[in-house]
Structure 1
Amino acid sequence: MIRCFATATFGGTTVVHDPAVGTNHLAPQPIPAGRVFLDDRQVASWIEAELAKLQLTAPVSMCWSPIVRCNLACPQCLDDRSVRESTADERRSLVDHIANSGILGVDISGGEPLLLRDLPDLARATCSHNTAVVSCTTNGWHLARRATELVGAVDAVRVSLDGATEATHDHWRGADSYQHAVAGIRAAVAEGLPVQLQMVLMQANQHEAQALLERAAHLGVGGVTFLQMLPIGDGAAVADEQMLTDDQARAAIDALTVPDGLRVRLRTRGSADGFTVLRADGYAYRNTGGATRISAFNPVTGPQDLHLPTVRSSS
């Protein structure tokens, strides 16, 4: 599939950010900076960038959670529900800071971002300088009715599906969540939106990882990202029972048979270490300690406030 990526050169090294998968790749040849259209299979074949070796002064990508509200109450959620939610005016100011920050990839998450009426406008504003790509991470409940609005606004949609079966997914996400998510995935695919499924990998659902790949191929999505649980927010309460080690997770994913054309990624806690998040109250933080805690709370009053220290802590 030909789709949109964002590129920039750091000290002579050209990095390409994939908004669907969330990965960063080293381009083997010079590519103009900014938003570019490339073959996703070709990009996937390029070496993944080791960002710690590039001595960056700003993050390559970040997550922005402009909303705390959610129609679900998942026990593995890493959000802090006590955070104050930004107003519409504050969101407009924050998106302006993001657009001017030089960050290549922005994933708009939550809470549930599809509860925001101004989500398409925020996504377009994020890309207004033609330097960044934007994705949206959603539980999929409202995706079927809003997929058309997202066309031309986001470059990819990431849908949470924490099981290959309705019983497993709904156990974690609530009754009817699976049916709504699948309907949303189908609607987004029909609209031509690049879709990536995301499963929070846990003791309770790892046995369905292979079946999820087969389901993904059947639904016509681009790939699946397996996310290692982070013991942050509500997820801290179930972490001892449900977390896999990064080695256990890697062994489980390496044992899978990947259908042709499907992109599969494991986001370990190690790879999530140092990642930047902008909360709904306008404060930015980094994952630290092997992505087991957060630090560096900065109020974001300008683009420079998103340039948190990028040195990765030991994990």
Structure 2
Amino acid sequence: MKSEHHERTEGPAGQLAGGGRTDPATEAFVAHRNLLFTVAYEMLGSAADAEDVLQETWLRWAGVDLGTVREQRAYLVRITTRQALSRLRTLSRRRESYVGTWLPEPLLTAPDVADDVELADSVSMAMLLVMETLTPTERAVFVLREVFDVGYDEIAEAVDKSPAAVRQIAHRARAHVAARRPRATVSPAETRDLLDAFRRAVETGDLQSLLDTLAPDVVLLGDGGGVKQAVLRPVVGADKVARLLAAGLGRVTGVSLRPAQINACPALIIRLDGALDTVVAARIDNDLITGLYAVRNPEKLSHMQRETTLRR
């Protein structure tokens, strides 16, 4: 189903490349497609739903009289934001009945995404989970203002609020996120080194080395979506997490852990007998792993087959 989403959304690009038709609406949509996907994904935490939002955006954009559009990028972002907001409110209700913990859908991202530090931070699994604690409108305002530097007047049009109200929402959302985001910026190299030590400890079953990588209050979250086995509730504490990992991974044959660039951050891909099984992202504070996010739900792993381009 998700591949159908991808094919439908790529329709304008296909027309542009294959049919030789270069109408202005198609050109504009294709030029801004990666940006629009990134906006939708940051608001929804789901690549499949972001693809659906892009399809809805294209259908509305195709019917617009371009002569009335002053700034195409802003107009497209506005359509995308409105569609994403509508979908986010529906998803919020649906997630209440989700089996176990809901985690964002991981993306295999190109190395250059990490070069944009602010973008990389905003799409990290840890930050997406922080943004889950915002209301839909707060999340839209935060994403547009803090990540994409959209003006208050433009945001106001997108979320149907006054510019003054948007400023207040932005201030509230910024304070909310600041209180919950990782406490210190960790370089990709430091993250890779720590995850490499974590991987070696898991592979060798060295419990003490594993404990050395974990913060005392580390939290492990698992997302199996009711399809794959995963912890249904957060596992808290270095000793509990280490023993669970050692028992669950260290004693299974055919398991391999490999580094990858997930959501613009170093992470690990777990394969079982060569087949993709789990994506593990981490949150790091003060040189220790404070959060581990293990996504096993097969429906959330389809975007791990190819790199996703994210843009601001």
TM-score, normalised to structure 2, is: 0.26
Structure having the higher Rg: 2
TM-score, normalised to structure 1, is: 0.26
Q: Which has the higher contact order (CA 8 A, sep 6+)?
A: 2
Give the structure with the higher percent strand: 1
